[in-house]
Amino acid sequence: MGARSRKFIGAAAMLSFVVFYALAAMALSQARPIQDANGVVQALIYMVIGLGWVAPMLPLIKWMEGGKKA
């Protein structure tokens, strides 16, 4: 598979994942335990939720780049 095809498929998969992840994060952020927590705990939870999409995307990004070694 060519580099352009890999990048197109990867971009479509990434966009789909981020849309569904954002919807799930919004639903999770409205959960009663998170809403009842104090401000510091809420901030930590929102940071984890906000950055949580990065780890699943790393293998996809490496695949899109063709497995190039750094």
Which residues have C-beta within 8 Å of that of residue 43, sequence separation ≥ 6? none
DSSP class of residue 12 equals: H
Indicate the pLDDT class of residue 67, thresholds 50, 70 and 90.
Answer: low
Residues 33-59: tens digit of each pLDDT: 888 889 899 889 999 998 989 999 999
List pLDDT tens digits, range 7-37.
999 999 999 999 999 999 999 888 888 888 8
- Comparing C-alpha atoms, which of 5, 8, 9, 52 is closest to residue 28? 52
Separation between Cα atoms, residue 62 and residue 14, nearest integer Å: 12
Exposed/middle/buried for residue 49 (C-beta within 10 Å: 0-12, 13-18, 19+):
middle
In this prediction, residue 70 carries a pLDDT of 53
pTM, 2 dp:
0.75
